[in-house]
């Protein structure tokens, strides 16, 4: 996961002002400089923002007396009535107080960082932090000490944004204040762990090595980030969570984090359209891992569960894509089936199926993955000192990285994972674990049913209207949506003929042909090379897609572009059938920059044709490279129409659907 997400630095001056940092204060300071200087700098910082009314008066430097908070609490029940209140965050009394004060005096949070706070205060802070962590939907650390503090009922009004800042504080206070309770090392580890989780980084052992001071520093940054997000509304906080999730948070790069969280917070304040803009920015696709980057590949390899050997004789043009020798790792993995701890058996099984190729096709892979995740969620139990949402997100992330090792994710799977993570992040804290799990499972099922199965039905109903008697329909490869369309049209009694075009090495068309002929459709089967010959008699071309990118290009099985091109040349309409969940806002112009490489060896041997053995002894020759591309990119001008569950649209309308759909996806 990590390699895909390089830290982004969003430099937006307006955003930067939000929060506790003085405009002039270089953000790096917080990292390298011990707490005190920060405090000083922040003390002079301008008002957080117009959003927090009391922000102006806040002095982060101030260390409030321990009791202060509770008193304040009483006095300040809900300092920001104008702000929308989160639906049902879990609150403790201490939190409430902290929250209440947080508006007036964010300085409350800082004592912890300064390491001088009294234990009682720290204790409160812990509670506060814990609560906030809950709110943020990240991994929650259950700190036993929290219970020792007064815990009030749920104060809905007070919670608000204050919850957000707490995360970082928690960790700090735990580290500093609880030595008697926990071995500091363990705590540190936990802190690191939690941070890790946020980062979506699978490696957990790393933080162990870190010194407490580093943890402190990290915690400090967390706190600052949180403090910044504080002013934001609750939805913003969830947004912030996602933003945080998306970016690797490194102790050495607080700058970007700050900006990230600040971005979200700032965008929240500016409301609707502003939000969507920011949202779009945030959702801009991350640069994918480039496998010609040696350092990152090394890093990724160290973590990998699946030990893959690099294929020899790589094609120069595709060094940036992973290519492994297939077949070597499968037995090894199978033998590890019962030992592999961190991966849920269902996920493991799906991974192996990806590896062996027994599950292929965009929808099938996506459904299999989601089902496996559902199983994993069902069997999941939150470790005692973690919160469900954080820990589960981490788990899912590690599963995902396992699946990536088995086979690179398709774009549709990426979308589904994003959906699942946002679901997890949005699980209300009030739910018990079993309820949360149930709701997540139903979310997953909902996604499968609505976005895939139901979407397919809608597509079929749309597309069938385009089939008339006497048509000759051409399809390429094997697309589940197209197959359903053809079968449905046949059931409706339409008289048409199907041309199934196929290509090596997968010969998926043969399987489709078998199913169609079995259902009694009249079929013609041919190779992709004969496409120019057959196209003259074709009236319509139906193609499936792995994804549709927002510049209208269709990312699909290799060869689709050839078919669409020839159809275009012969003035035959090309209909691309693709569920909207496969749309992606990424753009791509050629098939080289991003693609997937299959097993090169299947190129050199032709099954069933023993006479084609020219390359038998040559596959190791360094002059010979075998290239097995999986996908290609069809330019949008070859596509007449895209049939989706939102209707039939021209390729130019894809970005619209991506935008609308994304909003629904994230916010609804």
**Which residues sit opposite 498 in a β-bridge?**
473, 523
Cα 622 to chain centroid, rounded = 39
Measured distance CA(588)–CA(132) in Å, rounded: 40
- Map tokens 């080289």 to a residue: 592
Query: Which of 44, 522 has the CB closer to another protein?
Result: 522
Tokens standing for 649?
A: 């649209």
**Which residues sit opposite 500 in a β-bridge?**
475, 525
CB of 313 to another protein, least distance (A): 9
Query: Which of 458, 602 has the CB closer to another protein?
Result: 602
**Which is nearest to 110 in space by CA: 259, 223, 268, 278?**
223
The one segment of 106-114, 251-259, 404-412, 518-526 that binds another protein by CB under 8 A: 518-526
Binding mask 304-323 for another protein (x = CB under 8 A): -----------xxx------
Query: Which of 392, 500 has the CB closer to another protein?
Result: 500
Taking CB under 8 A as the criterion, the residue among 75, 587, 612, 656 binding another protein is 612
Taking CB under 8 A as the criterion, the residue among 523, 545, 575, 666 binding another protein is 523
Measured distance CA(361)–CA(479) in Å, rounded: 7
Binding mask 267-306 for another protein (x = CB under 8 A): ----------------------------------------
Asked if 352 is part of the footprint of another protein (rule: CB under 8 A), the reply reads no
Measured distance CA(527)–CA(643) in Å, rounded: 25
> At CA 280, angle to CA 279 and CA 281, rounded to 5?
90
Q: Write the DSSP symbol of residue 629.
A: B
Please report which helix (H) or strand (E) contains residue 245, including its range: helix 234-246
Asked if 625 is part of the footprint of another protein (rule: CB under 8 A), the reply reads yes
Say how many residues make up the chain.
668
- Map tokens 């735990």 to a residue: 174
CB of 431 to another protein, least distance (A): 48
Taking CB under 8 A as the criterion, the residue among 606, 648, 649, 663 binding another protein is 606
CB of 621 to another protein, least distance (A): 5
Asked if 242 is part of the footprint of another protein (rule: CB under 8 A), the reply reads no
The one segment of 160-168, 241-249, 383-391, 607-615 that binds another protein by CB under 8 A: 607-615
Measured distance CA(23)–CA(643) in Å, rounded: 50
- Map tokens 């806002």 to a residue: 585
SS3 assignment, position 293: coil
CB of 605 to another protein, least distance (A): 9
Asked if 211 is part of the footprint of another protein (rule: CB under 8 A), the reply reads no
CB of 604 to another protein, least distance (A): 7
- Find out whether 614 and 622 touch, Cβ atoms under 8 Å: no
Taking CB under 8 A as the criterion, the residue among 522, 652, 660, 664 binding another protein is 522
Binding mask 249-268 for another protein (x = CB under 8 A): --------------------
Asked if 358 is part of the footprint of another protein (rule: CB under 8 A), the reply reads no
The one segment of 285-293, 388-396, 483-491, 611-619 that binds another protein by CB under 8 A: 611-619
Tokens standing for 387?
A: 């919160």
Asked if 360 is part of the footprint of another protein (rule: CB under 8 A), the reply reads no
CB of 231 to another protein, least distance (A): 49
CB of 233 to another protein, least distance (A): 46
CB of 508 to another protein, least distance (A): 11
Count residues near another protein (CB under 8 A): 60
Hey, which residues between 525 and 564 contact another protein (CB under 8 A)? 525-534, 536, 557-559, 561-562
CB of 622 to another protein, least distance (A): 9
Asked if 11 is part of the footprint of another protein (rule: CB under 8 A), the reply reads no
- Map tokens 């994804």 to a residue: 547
**Which residues sit opposite 310 in a β-bridge?**
324
Asked if 357 is part of the footprint of another protein (rule: CB under 8 A), the reply reads no
Query: Which of 569, 660 has the CB closer to another protein?
Result: 569
Query: Which of 629, 654 has the CB closer to another protein?
Result: 629
Taking CB under 8 A as the criterion, the residue among 517, 551, 573, 659 binding another protein is 517
CB of 644 to another protein, least distance (A): 24
**Which is nearest to 14 in space by CA: 56, 46, 52?**
46
Other beta carbons less than 10 A from residue 626's beta carbon? 19
Query: Which of 292, 379 has the CB closer to another protein?
Result: 292
Q: Going by C-beta distance under 8 Å and a sequence separation of 6 or more, which residues neighbour residue 319?
A: 291, 292
Cα atoms in the 13 Å half-sphere on the side-chain side of 325: 10
Measured distance CA(667)–CA(423) in Å, rounded: 10
Alpha-carbon Rg for the chain, nearest whole angstrom, is: 28
Other beta carbons less than 10 A from residue 184's beta carbon? 14
Hey, which residues between 420 and 439 contact another protein (CB under 8 A)? none
Query: Which of 338, 614 has the CB closer to another protein?
Result: 614
**Which residues sit opposite 473 in a β-bridge?**
498, 540
User: 115: exposed, middle or buried (C-beta count within 10 Å: 0-12, 13-18, 19+)?
Assistant: middle
Alpha helices in 325-466 (DSSP H): 329-335, 345-356, 362-378, 388-406, 411-426, 433-447, 455-464
Other beta carbons less than 10 A from residue 450's beta carbon? 12
Binding mask 629-668 for another protein (x = CB under 8 A): x-xxx-----------------------------------
Hey, which residues between 43 and 102 contact another protein (CB under 8 A)? none
Measured distance CA(375)–CA(345) in Å, rounded: 9
Other beta carbons less than 10 A from residue 8's beta carbon? 18
Query: Which of 349, 494 has the CB closer to another protein?
Result: 494
Query: Which of 168, 559 has the CB closer to another protein?
Result: 559
DSSP notation for 166-217: HHHHHHHHHHHH-TTTS-HHHHHHHHHHHHHHHHT----SHHHHS-HHHHHH
CB of 484 to another protein, least distance (A): 19
CB of 587 to another protein, least distance (A): 15
**Which is nearest to 216 in space by CA: 244, 254, 260?**
254
Taking CB under 8 A as the criterion, the residue among 341, 384, 609, 610 binding another protein is 609
Binding mask 469-508 for another protein (x = CB under 8 A): ---------------------------------xxxx---
Q: Going by C-beta distance under 8 Å and a sequence separation of 6 or more, which residues neighbour residue 460?
A: 481, 484, 485, 488
Query: Which of 570, 667 has the CB closer to another protein?
Result: 570
Taking CB under 8 A as the criterion, the residue among 566, 575, 577, 578 binding another protein is 566
Cα 232 to chain centroid, rounded = 23
Binding mask 574-603 for another protein (x = CB under 8 A): ----------------xxx--x-------x
CB of 379 to another protein, least distance (A): 41
> In this structure, what are the phi and psi dihedrals at residue 540, rounded to the nearest 5 degrees?
-150, 150
**Positions in the binding site for another protein (CB under 8 A):** 315-317, 502-505, 510, 513-514, 517-518, 520-534, 536, 557-559, 561-562, 565-566, 569, 590-592, 595, 603-604, 606, 608-609, 612, 614-615, 618, 621, 623-629, 631-633
């Amino acid at each position: 996961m990590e390699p895909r997400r390089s830290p982004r630095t969003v430099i937006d001056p307006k955003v930067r002002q939000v929060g506790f940092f003085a405009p002039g204060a270089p953000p790096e300071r917080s990292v390298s400089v011990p707490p005190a200087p920060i405090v000083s700098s922040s003390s002079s910082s301008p008002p957080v923002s117009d959003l927090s009314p009391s922000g102006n008066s806040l002095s982060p430097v101030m260390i409030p007396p321990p009791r202060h908070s509770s008193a304040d609490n009483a006095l300040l029940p809900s300092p920001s009535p104008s702000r929308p209140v989160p639906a049902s965050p879990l609150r403790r009394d201490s939190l409430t107080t902290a929250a209440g004060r947080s508006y007036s005096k964010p300085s409350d949070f800082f004592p912890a960082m300064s390491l001088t706070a009294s234990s009682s205060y720290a204790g409160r802070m812990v509670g506060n932090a814990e609560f906030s962590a809950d709110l943020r939907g990240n991994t929650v650390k259950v700190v036993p000490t929290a219970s020792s503090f007064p815990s009030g009922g749920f104060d809905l009004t007070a919670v608000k944004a204050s919850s957000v800042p707490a995360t970082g504080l928690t960790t700090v206070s735990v580290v500093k204040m609880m030595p008697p309770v926990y071995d500091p090392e363990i705590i540190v580890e936990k802190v690191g762990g939690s941070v890790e989780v946020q980062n979506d980084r699978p490696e957990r052992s790393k933080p162990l090595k870190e010194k407490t001071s580093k943890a402190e520093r990290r915690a400090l940054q967390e706190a600052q980030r949180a403090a910044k997000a504080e002013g934001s509304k609750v939805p913003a906080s969830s947004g912030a969570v996602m933003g945080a999730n998306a970016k690797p948070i490194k102790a050495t790069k607080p700058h970007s984090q700050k900006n990230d969280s600040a971005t979200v917070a700032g965008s929240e304040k500016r409301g609707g359209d502003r939000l969507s803009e920011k949202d779009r920015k945030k959702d801009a696709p991350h640069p994918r891992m480039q496998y010609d980057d040696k350092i990152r590949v090394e890093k990724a390899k160290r973590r990998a569960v699946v030990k893959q050997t690099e294929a020899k004789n790589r094609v120069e043009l595709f060094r940036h894509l992973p290519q492994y020798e297939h077949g070597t790792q499968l037995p090894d993995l199978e033998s590890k089936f019962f030992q592999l701890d961190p991966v849920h058996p269902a996920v493991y099984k799906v991974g192996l199926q990806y590896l062996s190729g027994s599950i292929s096709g965009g929808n099938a892979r996506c459904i299999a993955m989601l089902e496996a995740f559902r199983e994993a969620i069902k069997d999941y139990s939150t470790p005692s000192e973690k919160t469900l949402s954080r820990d589960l997100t981490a788990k899912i992330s590690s599963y995902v990285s396992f699946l990536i090792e088995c086979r690179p994710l398709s774009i549709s799977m990426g979308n589904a994972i994003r959906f699942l993570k946002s679901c997890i992040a949005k699980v209300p804290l009030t739910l018990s674990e079993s309820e949360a799990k149930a709701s997540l499972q139903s979310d997953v099922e909902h996604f499968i049913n609505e976005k895939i199965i139901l979407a397919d039905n809608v597509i079929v109903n749309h597309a069938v209207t385009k089939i008339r008697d006497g048509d000759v329909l051409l399809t390429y490869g094997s697309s589940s949506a197209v197959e359903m369309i053809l079968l449905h049209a046949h059931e409706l009694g339409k008289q048409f003929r199907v041309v199934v075009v196929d290509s090596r090495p997968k010969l998926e068309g043969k399987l489709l042909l078998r199913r169609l002929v079995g259902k009694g459709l009249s079929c013609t089967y041919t190779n992709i090379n004969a496409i120019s010959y057959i196209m003259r008699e074709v009236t319509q071309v139906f193609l499936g897609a792995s994804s549709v990118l927002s510049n209208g290009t269709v990312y699909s099985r290799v060869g689709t572009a050839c078919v669409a091109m020839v159809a275009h040349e012969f003035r035959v309409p090309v209909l691309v059938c693709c569920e909207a969940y496969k749309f992606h806002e990424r753009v791509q112009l050629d098939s080289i920059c991003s693609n997937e490489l299959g097993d090169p060896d299947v190129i050199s041997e032709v099954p069933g044709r023993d006479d084609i053995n020219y390359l038998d002894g040559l596959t190791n020759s360094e002059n010979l490279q075998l290239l097995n591309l999986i996908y290609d990119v069809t330019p949008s001008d070859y596509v007449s129409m895209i049939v989706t569950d939102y209707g039939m649209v021209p390729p130019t309308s894809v970005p619209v659907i991506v935008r609308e759909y994304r909003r629904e996806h994230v916010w609804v």
